[in-house]
Amino acid sequence: MSTEGMVYLVGAGPGDPGLFTIRGKQCLERADVVIYDRLVSMRILGYAPAKAEMIYVGKASSEHTLTQDEINRLLVEKAQQGKTVVRLKGGDPFVFGRGGEEALYLRKHGVPFEIVPGVTSAVAVPAYAGIPVTHREMTSTLAIVTGHERPDKDATSVQWDRIATGIGTLVFLMGVENLAHIVRNLLAYGRDSGTPCAVIRWGTLPEQEVVTGTLADIEKKVQEANLLPPAILVVGEVVQLRQELMWFENRPLFGKRIVVTRSREQASRLSSMIEALGGHVVEIPTIKITPSADMSPLYRCFDVINTYHWLIFTSVNGVQIFFDEMLKCGKDIRDLKGLHIAAIGPATAQALKEKGLVVDVVPEEFRAEGIVRDMKGRIRPGSKVLLPRARGARDVLPEVLRDWGAEVTEVHLYQALTEKVAPEHLEALLTGHVDAITFTSSSTVKNFVKILGDKNIEEVTQTARVVCIGPVTAATAQEMGMRVDKVASEYTVPGLVQALVEMFQES
């Protein structure tokens, strides 16, 4: 920790974690303290170090955990302790985010700071609704207005007489509660009642809702849709383009809340693919990959590696740990010269190719039975096989290889232990706020049941559909009392995502 503290005023963007900036992520990754607002994504908060102090100072309408003065003092206090502080604010800190006030307070107290702009919801949210805030044939002017100004204020800071007709597109941030006040003023100062409007709730997120109308009927339509904050109001002719440019809500998994149960290290690829198709990912890692405490059996194999004929990998985790340990022993891929290599699944094969190795066998069926079928005739009596894999893996593969007369050395590289789950994620499952649960291995299924408890499994799967990466995983889920709704035809992560899409299209 440095002796002089530092404060980063960081914009977290409008909600979609993919819109968080690279610079913001860099700051968050080295934070000692994170002071964050209400609408900041949990995925973004996950970039902070596990040891970082997390302080919530969120503000909902008329409900403040801390006053602005208290937040200002907190920033100074933490920085003066020599800590790196990230003040994480929704949207952009300088667009109605009170970042200017906080920066001035820091300067007054001699605390160094940096401003990290964020993607403002004033532009991003309309874009996700298919509404460009400017368009050459419609308007070249844009005004961003606070929707929080109280209607009963003695003196307004909004020049209604100028903006009502003098600006092409008006974006009111957090304007739903004062919608009647905003509409009344725009009409009173000359804006045409037929002007198109859109109210966008939870913009850029899978929960996004959009209500369109005109100044004449937008209040009624919002009431009928029961649209509540947080939402923004867009007023202007550009709203007409929504029907042609709508894209976000057209994606095949839009609005679906999907649980990913893979380990934290492996979840990102599956999560990213689901999010790219519009799904909302709830990451509930059920397994934690823990390398074996005693690697001496593996080291003994390294000493006689040239005596083996076959090296068979069953997972990406196995590949990574195997080669990490090789390097620790002063060995590398040159020591594997002459060995035949087999891999279960294209992801495992790809991990080996990235190490510079040619894979001799990748079975068409990505499970132990597939590799047994494809290797029949290749492994002969007396063949020495090294099988580095997880403790507790199925016995099908080594048993069949031994039946063929092979001499199999099985080495346990890691264990898939049960992971702790955030209470809010468990609540989402138990309250039926999840559309699908994905499983990528039998261990994810077993640990999911351990975490949730047998008595809750039937209740959860009544509302959430279960999708499995392959028949072995599906069989385990059924044994554990789950109804399996879909099994991927290709036992890979892309195959699992395709199964999700097909399932929701069929329903």
Instruction: Look up the CATH number of the domain holding residue 28.
Output: 3.40.1010.10
What letter represents residue 110's amino acid? G
Query: Does residue 396 lie in a domain region?
Result: yes
Q: Is residue 151 within 8 Å of 142, Cβ to Cβ?
A: no
In this prediction, residue 461 carries a pLDDT of 81
Query: Does residue 495 lie in a domain region?
Result: yes
Of 369, 393, 417, the one marking the end of a domain is: 417
Task: For residues 30 and 179, state if they share a domain.
Answer: no
33 closest CA partner among 8, 69, 15: 8
Active-site option among 25, 59, 221, 288:
59
Task: For residues 82 and 199, state if they share a domain.
Answer: no
Residue 415, C-beta contacts closer than 8 angstroms, at least 6 positions apart = 289, 290, 292, 390, 391, 392
Average pLDDT per consecutive 10 residues, the chain (507 residues; last block may be shorter):
81 93 97 93 90 88 76 96 96 94 97 97 97 95 86 75 95 90 96 98 92 98 94 97 95 92 77 90 84 94 95 92 94 92 87 92 68 79 94 85 93 84 68 88 88 82 90 91 92 92 91
Of 197, 223, 248, the one marking the end of a domain is: 248
Of 184, 219, 248, the one marking the end of a domain is: 248
Nearest-10 Cα torsion for 435, 438, 444, 447: 10
Residue 3, C-beta contacts closer than 8 angstroms, at least 6 positions apart = 82
Task: For residues 447 and 349, state if they share a domain.
Answer: no
- Domain containing 272 equals 257-286+419-506
Task: For residues 299 and 393, state if they share a domain.
Answer: yes
Task: For residues 145 and 30, state if they share a domain.
Answer: no
In this prediction, residue 287 carries a pLDDT of 80
DSSP assignment letter at 62? T
Q: 475: burial class by Cβ within 10 Å (0-12, 13-18, 19+)?
A: middle
The alpha carbon dihedral of 483, 487, 492, 495 has a sign of negative
Task: For residues 269 and 234, state if they share a domain.
Answer: no
35-69 in b/e burial notation, b at 16+ Cβ within 10 A? bbbebbbeebbebbeeebeebebebeeeeeebeee
Active-site option among 16, 32, 37, 485:
37
Active-site option among 25, 138, 174, 374:
174
289-324 in b/e burial notation, b at 16+ Cβ within 10 A? beebeebeebeebbeebeebbbbbbbbbbbbbbbbe
Query: In this structure, what CATH number is given to the domain that contains residue 181?
Result: 3.30.950.10
In this prediction, residue 35 carries a pLDDT of 97
**Active-site residue 37, yes or no?**
yes
**Active-site residue 138, yes or no?**
no
Task: For residues 328 and 412, state if they share a domain.
Answer: yes
- Model pTM? 0.74
Q: 357: number of CA atoms within 13 Å, CB side?
A: 27
212/413 Cα distance (integer angstroms): 57
In this prediction, residue 1 carries a pLDDT of 39
In this prediction, residue 43 carries a pLDDT of 83
In this prediction, residue 370 carries a pLDDT of 65
What six digits make up the tokens of 228? Answer: 């509540």
Q: How many domains does the chain have?
A: 4
In this prediction, residue 365 carries a pLDDT of 62
Q: Is residue 189 within 8 Å of 164, Cβ to Cβ?
A: yes
Query: Does residue 102 lie in a domain region?
Result: yes
Phi then psi for residue 205, to 5 deg, are -105, 160
173/481 Cα distance (integer angstroms): 47
Task: For residues 306 and 163, state if they share a domain.
Answer: no
